[in-house]
Structure 1
């Protein structure tokens, strides 16, 4: 009966519209996932700390690691937080991190290193000494390396030096030659040369190894005892006769003493690598020993592929010295993009291409360098300057001036660039601009001989302000009385002043000293004005052989043969 009544009630109830399907809630629909905010998220703090480090913002990195350290049970996080706190001189944060690191199980030696760093940062020498004594007393295999790191990074280097001398004594140093040499080197770096010598000598006497002899030799050489240094290096080489590093060190010492031939012979014996070949080439070049350079080139061509690959730039230089331009280009082309000589190899290639008459290729290569090295000012300046000087050689003065101007935008008021642009302006007949550049150069380098001569010649050639031109060229002549270029300027000035005999005498001397086309043009014009047309024509003919396309010769002949 109850069931029936229930059904009846349902039947009598008013009808309601219902959707065709009823959505059933999923079990996870009511679940709320609680995520920590950034200040309580260790991963977020670590990420923020690392991002700050990429920006070299140590203060922000320290703050983030300080928070991360409090949230993490990783001792490495606490160690990093301590290091950053010390780096930014936040003693409170550093001490907090050190306590946390100790709680999480820091190694005693590492903790002592950090506490010593903090003490030194505070200027607490007594605490620093206590921690350093504890550090070296731990017997940890890295203890002395950690000891050195503390002192080398100290803010007060004098305080660090006192601690070094007090603690790193022969009686305390371990039976490891490397530790002795490291302390000696550190002493030298901290300005304690006597201590460095003492430890070096003691290490040599105790270990008698090649490396201890070599380091003691370096100390003696630095102290001015070249004979003592040489004797010790000989002992080192007797211990390890095949050591390339020892032979390089000994050869360098011999070279500094002026014994280039002896240094070369020493390096020629025994194993070779790219460094030995490079030094041998430098020694032979210093001696201007063409035969030695040629022999070295042949030897290096037959070296191992690895040595040839790393010596491609040197091979190019050696080929160039022997006027093997095609071979030099091939070697320079093998210099890798990541090689330290990559720019120099391309620059040399451009110059070789120009000498081969491939002017367009040379300028194209220099243009590529100008784009590739936009963010490297020194290389960019060299690329523009080389471009400008090649245009000067081509007598394309407008492009030379433009290239020099680009270089001057990179390095404003560079004396060499101002001088080059001044020459370009002068050759193009833009006298005012040339004078301005030479005057600016003389403001930067008062009394500069080349600038004085260039300005004096420019004024004389333009036939203006001859008194100032005479003063400038006289100054240059006094500094370089036998310089043909300055003699040419003086002779041309005398011509402008109407002193034809003195002009001819001076120019003839300059022409005999150096057969320069421009000097010959000047001498020929003076001889012509003196009525010696036949002599003048002979000089002009010689100039034409030297430089068939000389613009000054063409203009002079037009003027003399209207």
Structure 2
């Protein structure tokens, strides 16, 4: 990469090379004289060459315009704005191009160098700067230095020029101001209905800027004035957003209906209206609205989201069939959505085919590969699933969030396989990427618990509770782990009691409570809690617990019937095998 020193040394080397070449020519001439017999001189003197005595001036780097511009651009590629400002300041003094002076002034303002900015502005004005642009930069400088009156004067000059981009430049000045409160005051003072041009976009931009600067009342006032003046779809839609922010949902819906009447084919308006309907709980109305009119990728995505929220399998299936037949451009930009829809309907082969079509440049590329790994594992292709996740771990090595997800997915698949050593290793890799991540600590704690490494499991769950005090799932997990190990039962009782209070109808927590009662010798309470959990959800581990309690109570036929059901649910359940070994020594 080029730097200031490398540019200077490059110029020096060029001069040295030129001098060396001239010296070499002289030396060669001397050598030739020494090695060749002297010949008689010609009768006429040689005619001197035209450039024999010419001297080419080579400027030093500080006075070399090209060198300064090159160094300035290189500094910008390194995002070294201070160095870029210095180089462009020197270039502005050497150049007659007003654009160079403009760049120098803007950079000087960006690095808060007032003196350099004034020099560059003077040079720019001398070279014929257009009034609007120079007023913009002078206003930026004044705001940067806290000179509110001068900033207002320059902004008035800017909008007074009548330049077609004047109000856009006005907005840029205020958006970039260090003192946003001062910027908001100037906005309200200058961007009034009396001053704003006959351009709806300018009104909407000022209203949006006011909202961004915390002047919602001003934003709403300008939005309403724009709506009354222009009565366009855009102004109705923006005024509707202002009303929605104020909590006036009925008023917002009425304005959006007017906007749609003006532009019924506008997909952005339909999306906005559908979003407002869904936020109000009218998912059916939102779906009906989106189903009418032209369809694009965004419309299909929101329709799918609404159907998924309503758990409407028929609507999802119909949407999948419709999207399959959509225009090629829409279908090609919706391949990730098609994969999701196919996966929701358990059409795994089709889902894989769609995910495979997601391009590497698509924003969903990582998610498509991640989902593909999950499907491959479900299909029994465990090796392929883990290989794909390993590829993701390498491909996203410098993107922490994706890297964490790839390691976590790998860990969860290994945990599903009961390969606890590899699951623990994958969770630990993920925790190196995102230390103390609650989800990862919880997953690794479960892995340790399943592997019988109780101390490590307890350590992870306790660390998790330090990070998220009172977390229900962590409290239940630690309480259950302690109860299952038959240790620290008072602490286990306190933790599981907290979880029960937060989620009294959760079968997993009821199972923990029942198993704790069993460890404490309260068989009747244990059987009651576990029977309720088993009826609520036929989970294999809950069934094993209930069967053991019934066995200990002497209800062996009932216990055996439960064990048989567990075996049908999960023939490879390790807890069932271990329990039966204990009960049938």
Shorter-chain TM band: over 0.9
Q: TM-score, normalised by structure 1?
A: 0.93
SS of residue paired to 1:136: helix
SS of residue paired to 2:369: helix
CA distance in 2, matches of 1:261, 1:176: 37
Q: Which of 81, 85, 89 does residue 62 from structure 1 map onto?
A: 85
Match of 1:75 in 2: 98
Q: Which of 382, 406, 417 does residue 429 from structure 2 map onto?
A: 406
1:315 and 2:338 are equivalent in the alignment: yes
Match of 1:12 in 2: none
Root-mean-square deviation (CA, aligned residues, Å) is 2.1
> C-alpha offsets along residues 270-297 of structure 1, whole Å, 9 cap, x if unaligned?
1111011111111122222222211111
CA distance in 1, matches of 2:149, 2:344: 63
Equivalent runs, 1:283-322 vs 2, <5 Å: 283-322=306-345
Deviation at 1:304, TM superposition (A): 1.0
CA distance in 2, matches of 1:18, 1:460: 104
> C-alpha offsets along residues 495-549 of structure 1, whole Å, 9 cap, x if unaligned?
3233333333332232222211111222222333333333322222211111111
CA distance in 1, matches of 2:528, 2:521: 13
Deviates more, 1:356-365 or 1:517-526: 517-526
1:535 and 2:569 are equivalent in the alignment: no
Against the structure 1 CA distance between its residues 103 and 430, is the aligned structure 2 distance closer, same or farther, given a 3 Å change threshold?
A: same
Match of 1:4 in 2: none
CA distance in 2, matches of 1:17, 1:536: 116
Deviation at 1:299, TM superposition (A): 0.8
Match of 1:396 in 2: 419
Structure 1, unmatched stretches of 5+, are 1-15
Match of 1:121 in 2: 144
SS of residue paired to 1:370: helix
SS of residue paired to 1:241: coil
1:467 and 2:490 are equivalent in the alignment: yes
Deviation at 1:343, TM superposition (A): 1.0
CA distance in 2, matches of 1:78, 1:346: 50
Deviation at 1:212, TM superposition (A): 1.5
Q: Which of 503, 506, 513 does residue 536 from structure 2 map onto?
A: 513
Match of 1:19 in 2: 36
Against the structure 1 CA distance between its residues 127 and 478, is the aligned structure 2 distance closer, same or farther, given a 3 Å change threshold?
A: closer
> C-alpha offsets along residues 67-95 of structure 1, whole Å, 9 cap, x if unaligned?
01111111110000011111111111111
Deviation at 1:224, TM superposition (A): 1.9
Q: TM-score, normalised by structure 2?
A: 0.89
Deviation at 1:494, TM superposition (A): 2.6
SS of residue paired to 1:409: helix
Against the structure 1 CA distance between its residues 21 and 528, is the aligned structure 2 distance closer, same or farther, given a 3 Å change threshold?
A: farther
CA distance in 2, matches of 1:326, 1:275: 25
Equivalent runs, 1:182-193 vs 2, <5 Å: 182-193=205-216
Match of 1:271 in 2: 294
Deviation at 1:111, TM superposition (A): 1.3
Against the structure 1 CA distance between its residues 475 and 183, is the aligned structure 2 distance closer, same or farther, given a 3 Å change threshold?
A: closer
Deviation at 1:305, TM superposition (A): 1.2
Deviation at 1:29, TM superposition (A): 7.0
Match of 1:99 in 2: 122
Q: How many equivalent pairs are there? A: 547
Match of 2:240 in 1: 217
Deviation at 1:32, TM superposition (A): 4.5
Equivalent runs, 1:359-374 vs 2, <5 Å: 359-374=382-397
CA distance in 2, matches of 1:26, 1:554: 108
CA distance in 1, matches of 2:153, 2:338: 57
CA distance in 1, matches of 2:528, 2:47: 114
Deviation at 1:553, TM superposition (A): 1.4
Against the structure 1 CA distance between its residues 467 and 236, is the aligned structure 2 distance closer, same or farther, given a 3 Å change threshold?
A: closer
1:499 and 2:522 are equivalent in the alignment: yes
Match of 2:575 in 1: 552
> C-alpha offsets along residues 228-280 of structure 1, whole Å, 9 cap, x if unaligned?
22111111111111111111111111111111111111111111110111111
Against the structure 1 CA distance between its residues 358 and 131, is the aligned structure 2 distance closer, same or farther, given a 3 Å change threshold?
A: same
1:453 and 2:485 are equivalent in the alignment: no
CA distance in 1, matches of 2:465, 2:149: 58
Against the structure 1 CA distance between its residues 296 and 402, is the aligned structure 2 distance closer, same or farther, given a 3 Å change threshold?
A: same
SS of residue paired to 1:452: helix
SS of residue paired to 1:105: coil
Q: Which of 234, 240, 245 does residue 268 from structure 2 map onto?
A: 245
Equivalent runs, 1:331-350 vs 2, <5 Å: 331-350=354-373
Match of 1:10 in 2: none
Match of 2:27 in 1: none
Against the structure 1 CA distance between its residues 101 and 253, is the aligned structure 2 distance closer, same or farther, given a 3 Å change threshold?
A: same
1:87 and 2:104 are equivalent in the alignment: no
Match of 1:33 in 2: 56
